Structure 1
């Protein structure tokens, strides 16, 4: 039950980052074929950040 607020925050954070990434792609006029790579890279990095934060908070 303690994990629920963290998971909620992580989901909202990932959504906000994806929204900002979409705005970046539109503003910089990144081609459609490169947008998938940009989103994938940013999502992987943010997921690593969220996972490491989760481990640090709950297992140390």
Structure 2
């Protein structure tokens, strides 16, 4: 179960990073702000994935 969820999480993070890159390009976010945008979105998605795993684990 955990291996399937880890593969799913990596796939989701990859897709979200591609979408974040597209967002930065479309909104013309400056290069110096882009790492902060990526970091914030990755942290929030990781928290979401972790809480989803805990919910699946205990239900």
Q: TM-score normalised to the size of structure 1? A: 0.93
Q: CA offsets, 1:6-59, max 9 Å, x none?
A: 110000000000000000000111000000110010000000000000111013
TM superposition outliers: structure 1 runs of 4+ over 2 Å: none
Counterpart Cα distance in 2 of 1:6 and 1:16 = 15
Alignment root-mean-square deviation, CA: 0.7
Q: TM-score normalised to the size of structure 2? A: 0.95
Which residue does 2:50 correspond to in 1? 51
Gaps of 5+ in 2: none
Structure 2 residue 19 is the aligned partner of structure 1 residue 12: no
Q: Report how many aligned residue pairs link the two structures.
A: 59
Counterpart Cα distance in 2 of 1:23 and 1:55 = 30
